Structure 1
Amino acid sequence: MTPDRSAPRRRARLAALGGYAPARVVTNAEIERRVDTTDEWIRTRTGIRERRYAAPDETTADMAAVAAERVLASAGLPSAEVDMVIVPTATPDALFPATAAIVADRIGARRAAAYDLSAACSGFVYALAQATALVEAGMAGNVLVVGSEVLSRVTDHDDRATCILFADGAGGALVTAGDAETTTGFLAFDLGADGSGADQLVLPVGGDRRLAAAGGAPADACIRMDGPAVFRFATRVMVESAQRLLDGLSMGIADIDLVVAHQANSRIMDHAAERLGIPPERLFNNLELFGNTSSASIPMALAQARDAGRLSPGDMLLLVGFGGGLTWASSVVRYEPLGEEHQWA
């Protein structure tokens, strides 16, 4: 990746989307056979009816590569023209090499720079902010951002508080250079972190194939969560971050065509929708089918919204992420696809 200092002024453009969900469907009925819970209890408190788990031979990189290929197919962009691959993930294949480097090789983007980003469930929007900065500074022309997680491998499946929530999947987006006169692109970001709450949501290990062979991580190395504390943080910060962003842009919810939040809990999204005045038809929710996929949740939701006819070229989006760190990240962006839109599956 070589900076192009001679490039004319340009704006970063949200140019393509893609997603991938593993084949294995895990229903609430399956979970209630293992822990003391019921389908009704899970649906009432989370909004989740089922989720997907990766196959034993599937890793974060494997899923990310599929999602990445679907993003590029939607854009009609050859992989050789990708300048940077960023993989936000809490479950990398290894500490190094970066999962992003493996993905870049798999898809044939062999001249691209590549790195992973760790911001938990806020990671996708954090990575979009970095992609935007790279593009608008002339450091890159095409940046591929792919959130991918195998949370099922780092979940204690005997812990009712977490096993009902977390799941696997991948989703991505292409951020590319657009003409500043004709591209709206990313209007603003609101990013932040509060490390004083770091112990409220913790994951000590990654998610590679060896854990699958071992039956998952040991219980003391799995996701640990203070559910009530995280709920209080999320319901507060989601509203504050989104409102701060809209106020800074002199915009209101009426200017937003679709709100896509991190798919963590339907009660959190419903609370934010009520506080911000978001009509139900402008809040996208796929939590029922996919559960909480951390950094993959927003791009998976975006791709599914497109496939369902809920997202159209030219729509103005409000993206809101929140998660471990504790972190938060919001953005307002217009969806301006490059080419023919492809369904993710």
Structure 2
Amino acid sequence: MAVKFAQHDLSLLGISHQLPNANINNEALLNALSQKCGRLTARKAKTIAKRLGIEGRHLVRDLSTPTSSTSPSSIELSQQVLTQTLVNANLDIEALDYLLSHTCTPHTQVPPNAAWLADAMAFHGPYLELRQACTGFANGLQIASAFCAVNQQPVSIVGVETGSVYFDMDNDFIDTEQLVNYVQMGDGAAAVVLGPQDEQAAKISDIYLGQIGHQKPPGFYLDGGANDVGTKQMARFHHNTQAVREQGSQLFELGWQALQSRGYQLDDFTYILPHQANGHIDVLMAKALGISPERVINDAKHLGNLGSAAIWVSLSRLIHSGRLKAGDKVAVLGAEATKYLYGGFVYHHV
């Protein structure tokens, strides 16, 4: 269970987020389901939503039809958010040494989102994409840490999810796993521009990543790969909710232990930012750590679980909220249930 720390800190030069369309509350979400699949299915979904504590989300799909294309697409969302982030960083796209992205709901399997985004942004440099869910940000930071230290140039990371289209409002498609996906997940994107360490800039330090997934079945996965195409069925997310309940809290514990190993204590942090798995995350995390729920960021209640985009969206919202003062630190505790990864960092505000 060794944890990997990146050797070099990073400067955060810019960050922004983008949420598609208007927020959809549970009433609207469940009414759409009831019209297509009946009141019994909608009642089951309502029970799951209450248990998860999710009350709203932004979606790229059209709820008036059983299946839907993305609008906006993941590339359009990514272009919007990266454009704004470059403005925040006062940089042009040509200044980037590398374009990194991460998602588990890509625009196409190949080329990757990063390629489509490079086209949209007229970026002629190299790009790389990680096919990863909720800790894609942590792997992206491991790569960015090395690139920035060696090349002394800024890089960008874009995280995006548009997973709402992986749901068919048809009772032949729907089971409990699919209802979890329907009510829990949201869509969105966020981007950061990072540079080599600069004492005058906001800092990302203590970047860590670990995993405990050896020989464990996935807690969460998306089919539709070469192993599944022979079934000729729509790709779908699978949730092993029991396994996630058994393993999920350990991922947060291991993340906190990783930061403790670097000498940090709870009093060092103004806020704790965990992966936004459900709408009760502030109460659950506060109870586990023995702190006030007000110190734990909870965006999942109103945005749902944004998967690969979740940590960046919540950090962007926190930074732009004006709640942080110079010198404040935020402990980021990412967790991913696919094969049980944990990753995070410490954010230092200026």
Superposed pair shares fold, TM > 0.5: yes
Contact residue 261 and residue 321 of structure 1 kept, 8 A: yes
Does 2:166 match 1:154? yes
Counterpart of 1:61?
A: 75
Q: Alpha-carbon deviations, 1:7-58, whole Å to 9, x = none?
A: xx98421222100000143321133232333797455422211111115442
- Report the alpha carbon displacement of residue 127 of structure 1 after superposing the two structures with TM: 1.0
Counterpart of 1:203?
A: 222
Task: Give the structure-2-normalised TM-score.
Answer: 0.81
Change (3 A) 1:10 1:203: closer
Distance 1:184 1:167 in 2: 28
Counterpart of 2:208?
A: 190
Contact residue 245 and residue 330 of structure 1 kept, 8 A: no
1:56-205 matches, cutoff 5 A: 56-111=70-125, 113-136=126-149, 138-157=150-169, 158=174, 159-179=178-198, 185-193=203-211, 194-205=213-224
Distance 2:236 2:164 in 1: 10
Distance 2:266 2:168 in 1: 39
Contact residue 45 and residue 180 of structure 2 kept, 8 A: no
Contact residue 259 and residue 283 of structure 1 kept, 8 A: yes
Change (3 A) 1:205 1:313: farther
Matched residue type, 1:277:
G
Contact residue 77 and residue 189 of structure 2 kept, 8 A: yes
Aligned to 1:246, which of 239, 254, 259? 259
Does 2:225 match 1:227? no
Q: Alpha-carbon deviations, 1:134-178, whole Å to 9, x = none?
A: 212x13511111110111012355332221111211012111123
Contact residue 237 and residue 328 of structure 1 kept, 8 A: yes
- Report the alpha carbon displacement of residue 313 of structure 1 after superposing the two structures with TM: 4.7
Range that drifts further, 140-149 or 323-332: 323-332
Contact residue 49 and residue 184 of structure 2 kept, 8 A: no
- SS in structure 2 opposite 1:23? coil
Task: Give the structure-1-normalised TM-score.
Answer: 0.82
Change (3 A) 1:75 1:162: same
- Report the alpha carbon displacement of residue 223 of structure 1 after superposing the two structures with TM: 0.4
Counterpart of 2:20?
A: 22
Distance 2:129 2:153 in 1: 19
Q: Alpha-carbon deviations, 1:160-214, whole Å to 9, x = none?
A: 22211112110121111233x65673331331221433432110149xxxxxxxx
Does 2:55 match 1:52? no
Contact residue 63 and residue 169 of structure 1 kept, 8 A: yes
Matched residue type, 2:53:
G
Matched residue type, 1:192:
G
- Report the alpha carbon displacement of residue 222 of structure 1 after superposing the two structures with TM: 0.6
Matched residue type, 1:170:
A
> For the aligned residues, what is the CA RMSD?
2.6
Distance 1:46 1:333 in 2: 28
Does 2:307 match 1:294? yes
- SS in structure 1 opposite 2:280? helix
1:23-42 matches, cutoff 5 A: 23-33=21-31, 34=33, 35-37=41-43, 41-42=47-48
Does 2:333 match 1:320? yes
Query: Which 5+ residue runs of structure 1 have no aligned equivalent?
Result: 1-8, 207-217, 337-345
- Report the alpha carbon displacement of residue 280 of structure 1 after superposing the two structures with TM: 2.4
Change (3 A) 1:335 1:61: farther
Counterpart of 1:340?
A: none
The aligned length equals 314
Change (3 A) 1:115 1:24: same
- Report the alpha carbon displacement of residue 117 of structure 1 after superposing the two structures with TM: 0.7
Distance 1:219 1:225 in 2: 17
Matched residue type, 1:134:
F
- SS in structure 2 opposite 1:170? strand
Does 2:349 match 1:335? yes
Distance 1:305 1:184 in 2: 14
Distance 2:18 2:166 in 1: 20
- Report the alpha carbon displacement of residue 219 of structure 1 after superposing the two structures with TM: 6.7
- Alignment identity in percent? 24
